[in-house]
Chains A and B, each alone.
Chain A
Amino acid sequence: MARHRLRLCCPHCGVRAVEEFIYGELPTTPDTLVDADARDVDRAFMHGNTEGPVTERWFHTFGCRRWITVQRDTRTNEIL
């Protein structure tokens, strides 16, 4: 059964609807990529786009206006 609303727990404000937040992606360029040019291309254009648990940042725009760190499973939107 699909959940009807993704909620995030802000450590400052409590549990809030996801609409209050702006998504922020953390860089995922692998350390194994050592060539400087290839790293630049990867940082500029490539995404981890993980299917599973990810660590990401959210900015609480309509709240405390602070960045929070969230662990989420992208297959289910479950907050970990």
Chain B
Amino acid sequence: MNEFVERAITLRWPTVAKRAYDVVIIGGGGHGLATAYYLATRHGITNVAVLERSYIGGGNSGRNTTIIRANYGIPEAVRFYQRSVDLYATLEQETERGLMHKTKGLLWIAHSEAGIRQERARAAINTACGATTEYVDPPAIKEICPQIDLTGAGVWPVYGASYHPAGSTARHDRVVWAYAEGAMRLGVDVFQATAVTGLSMDHGRVTGVETGAGHIGAGVVLSAVGGHVTTIASMAGLRLPIRTHPLQAFVTNRYAQAFHPIVASSGLGGYASQTAKGEMLIGAEIDRAPSYAYDSGHPFLQHCAFRMMTLLPFLRDLQVLRQWTGVCDMSTDYSPVMGFTDVEGFLVTTGWGTWGFKAIPAGGEQMAALIANGRTPDLIAPFSLDRFARDRTMADRGSAGTH
């Protein structure tokens, strides 16, 4: 299919909200809409409302760098993200929408002996847990990505890398729209410009949400909010292991379609890939101080561009086209938080830090199963909120890509 010519997406917007729904999902981004989609398609639960305060996909679903991968550092995470990689691979056929999904392969560069050990460990644990990652030496890196300067401008020499062939990208808006359309077709109500201003509680149980348009009753409320989850959770009296940090990214003007893989480096704190239009898309590490502001700044641009140029010298000849900021919900152990909370009737899917986009299909599928069956699926049981109190944290900072 020509990805630029396709049928118009038909989104059936509802006019008025019902008095109550079985499930109310706060947040019309990838995770919220995917959960609604899988509730409708896999479990026949269509009495569902998704409430978005702005427009669907306008938050972090539209601000990420669209990388899909499963090369994580702990078994639980590898299995979970591999599920997402598998679902993404067939999502175009399932939704009959062009998502511009493209498998590119991902190189994670090591610049030191410690880096080599880390990438070898990553390859071993990925292979053991069902993802495909191999350790590659510098000549193989040059073959996969001829543009890399193996000397790293003499500052960041390339000693090796882990290579994850399943690494891919997809167009983020299209993923959001495909899930929204699929859910709406089966009767899910999606409301834009509908901010949740409060949660209604009855005897310690969440029974609905308050919005600008009035009260909406709910059997279950799921917060699939990116960025403002602490505020939503505090309405239910919950505290979360989350800090919200900005993360900036930029694209350059167009470069010939010659840059095939995704290249990431923990040492440089950045990653680069080429968009379908030919822009070089470069993302970076989170800003250190928590903030909800979408401010972009020149210090970031200077720092990030300089470092990436040491690895990819051709970037020197390109110009920065635009720059933007998203906000990342960083959990204390750098893994997502999914499932039940201490408050009955209130669920969360959060802590999506810098790994939210790639997790959309698996996160949605698993949260839908959890809501439909009233029981936590095995795949996401390790990521429940109570893991902190049980001293079972899922520490995986080295896989965030940017630390």
Residues of A within 8 A of B (CB): 2-6, 17-19, 22-23, 25, 30, 37-38, 41-42, 44-51, 56, 74-77
A19 to B303, CA, bound (A): 11
Contact check, A49 vs B294: say whether CB atoms are below 8 A apart: no
Q: Is the CB of B298 within 8 A of A5?
A: yes
Least Cβ–Cβ distance between A45 and chain B, in angstroms: 4
Dominant secondary structure at the B interface: loop
Contact of B388 among A4, A41, A75 (CB under 8 A): A41
Are A47 and B242 interface neighbours, CB within 8 A?
yes
Contact B299–A19 (Cβ < 8 Å): yes
Whether a CB of chain A sits under 8 angstroms from the CB of B244 is yes
Mark B residues whose CB is within 8 Å of A.
228, 230-231, 239-244, 288-299, 332-333, 388-389, 393
Taking A25-B243, A44-B388 as given, write out 12 further A-B residue pairs in contact, using a Cβ cutoff of 8 Å, ordered by the A residue number. A2-B293, A5-B298, A6-B289, A6-B295, A23-B290, A25-B290, A45-B332, A49-B243, A49-B244, A51-B228, A74-B244, A77-B291
- Contact B388–A76 (Cβ < 8 Å): no
Cβ A76 vs Cβ B332 within 8 A:
no
- The answer to whether B291 touches A47, judged by C-beta atoms less than 8 angstroms apart, is no
Across the two chains, which residue of chain B brings its CB closest to A76? B293
Contact status A47-B288, CB under 8 Å: no
Are B295 and A77 within 8 A (Cβ)?
A: yes
CA distance in complex: A37, B389 (Å): 9
Are B231 and A5 in contact, with the CB atoms below 8 A?
no
A27 to B344 Cα, complex, angstroms: 27
Selected A-B contacts with CB under 8 Å, 29 pairs: A2-B293, A2-B296, A4-B296, A4-B298, A5-B298, A5-B299, A6-B295, A18-B289, A23-B289, A38-B389, A45-B241, A45-B388, A46-B241, A47-B243, A47-B290, A48-B230, A49-B290, A50-B230, A51-B228, A51-B230, A51-B244, A74-B244, A74-B290, A74-B291, A74-B292, A75-B293, A76-B293, A77-B291, A77-B293
Tell me the bound Cα distance from A57 to B333 in angstroms.
22
Output the least CB separation between B320 and chain A (Å): 14
Once bound together, how far apart are the Cα atoms of A3 and B228, in whole Å? 21
From DSSP, what is the main secondary structure of chain A's interface residues?
loop
A2 to chain B, nearest CB (A): 4
Contacts of B294 in A (CB 8 A): 2
CB distance from A60 to the nearest CB of B (A): 14
Nearest chain-A residue to B241 (Cβ)?
Answer: A45
Across the two chains, which residue of chain A brings its CB closest to B231?
Answer: A51
Query: Residues of A contacting B293 with CB < 8 Å?
Result: 2, 74-77
Q: Which residues of B contact A74 (CB under 8 A)?
A: 244, 290-293
Query: How far does the alpha carbon of A42 sit from the alpha carbon of B299 in the complex, in Å?
Result: 34
Interfacial chain B residues near A75, Cβ < 8 Å: 292-293
- Smallest CB–CB gap between A29 and chain B, Å? 8
Closest A residue to B238 by beta carbon equals A46
Contact partners of A76 in chain B: CB under 8 A = 293
Measured CB to CB, the nearest residue on chain B to A1 is B295
Contact A22 B241 (CB under 8 A): no
CA distance A77 to B295 in the complex (A): 8
A77 CB to nearest chain B CB (Å): 4
Cα distance A3–B389 in the bound complex, in angstroms: 39
Chain A min CB distance to B290 (Å): 6
Q: Which residues of A contact B389 (CB under 8 A)?
A: 37-38, 41
Instruction: Give every chain B residue within 8 A of A77 (Cβ-Cβ).
Output: 291, 293, 295
- Residues on A with C-beta less than 8 A from B299 are 5, 17, 19
A25 to B330, CA, bound (A): 14
Which residues of the partner chain B approach A42 to less than 8 Å between Cβ atoms? 239
Closest to B296 in A: A2
Q: Which residue of B lies closest to A8 (CB)?
A: B289
Shortest C-beta distance, A18 to chain B (Å), equals: 7
* Separation of A66 and B204 alpha carbons in the complex (Å): 45
Q: Tell me the complex Cα distance, A23–B289, Å.
A: 6
Smallest CB gap from B230: residue in A: A49
A42 CB → nearest B CB, Å: 6
B386: nearest chain-A partner, CB-CB: A41
- Are B241 and A47 in contact, CB atoms less than 8 angstroms apart? yes
Contact of A49 with B295 in the complex, beta carbons under 8 Å: no
Instruction: Find chain A residues with CB under 8 A from B289 CB.
Output: 6, 18, 23, 56
User: Of B240, B297, B298, B333, which contacts A47 at CB under 8 A?
Assistant: B240
